[in-house]
């Protein structure tokens, strides 16, 4: 059996570094920025840019907006009806919303969360977890349906793990949401609908907590 090609070894080392940044210690803005730099460098050495991973302007902007909005509605419905109840049943614990308790009824605390939702979360997380991880894992696993499926699973697991401050149920639920966002990315081959969808889902989640009705979405 031949040895692994140098390009594959380099890619594996790159993914291991990304995994270390994602898995060791608490996920933070600092780690997200480092992952964006790592992903950008990964693309640069391959002669690619973020546009090649789906950040190019959609051919039909309104279609991307509609796709994101419809997907957000579907994900929120799935979260309320299936994902969170299943996660709670599996883990035996409720989703831990304590990290967001400071925004309940406090508009001044809500706005920074919303700003982060529409920038670092929507853009940064989608670029890293969907645009970068799915594609790079597929590069290593082979560009096929199986390779894309492996990339989707790896990306979703890390996405859930990065949100472990929500507790075991929240981590499992977020991983499932990440899988749905990944399917949207694969289906549209564009990051913009996914970014818009992510921002809408986070916005609704933050607003129900702000209004004191977190149980509407996280029973």
The answer to whether position 133 is within a domain reads yes
- Structural domain includes residue 1: no
Cα angle value 79/196/104 (rounded, 5°)? 55
The dihedral of CA 31, 36, 40, 43: what is its sign? positive
- Give the pLDDT of residue 6: 63
- Whether 119 is covered by a domain: the verdict is yes
Q: Is residue 36 part of a domain?
A: yes
The mean of the pLDDT values for the chain is 91
Q: Structurally, how many domains does the chain consist of?
A: 1
Please classify residue 145 by burial: count the beta carbons closer than 10 Å to its beta carbon, then call 0-12 exposed, 13-18 middle and 19+ buried: exposed
pLDDT by residue (tens digit) across 77-114?
A: 999 999 999 999 999 999 999 989 899 999 999 999 99
Residue 203 within a domain: yes
Range(s) of the domain holding residue 108: 6-216
pLDDT digits (tens, 9 = 90+) for 100-151: 989 999 999 999 999 999 999 999 999 999 999 999 998 888 777 888 999 9
Residue 58 lies in a domain: yes
pTM: 0.93
């Amino acid at each position: 059996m031949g040895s692994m090609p140098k390009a594959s070894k380099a890619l594996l080392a790159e993914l291991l570094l990304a995994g270390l940044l994602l898995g060791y210690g608490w996920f933070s803005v600092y780690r997200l920025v480092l992952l964006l730099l790592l992903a950008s460098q990964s693309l640069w050495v391959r002669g690619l840019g973020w546009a090649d991973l789906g950040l190019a302007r959609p051919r039909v902007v309104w279609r991307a907006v509609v796709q994101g909005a419809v997907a957000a509605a579907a994900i929120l419905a799935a979260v309320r009806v299936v994902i969170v109840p299943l996660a709670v049943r599996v883990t035996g614990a409720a989703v831990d919303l304590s990290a967001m308790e400071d925004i309940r009824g406090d508009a001044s605390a809500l706005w920074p969360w919303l700003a982060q939702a529409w920038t670092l979360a929507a853009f940064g997380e989608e670029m890293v977890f969907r645009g970068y991880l799915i594609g790079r894992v597929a590069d290593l696993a082979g560009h096929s349906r199986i390779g894309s499926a492996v990339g989707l699973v790896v990306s979703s697991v890390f996405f859930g793990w990065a949100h472990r401050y929500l507790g075991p149920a929240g981590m499992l639920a977020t991983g499932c949401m990440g899988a749905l966002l990944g399917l949207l990315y694969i289906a549209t081959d564009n990051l913009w609908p996914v970014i818009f969808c992510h921002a809408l889902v986070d916005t609704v989640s933050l607003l129900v907590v702000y209004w004191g009705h977190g149980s509407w979405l996280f029973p």
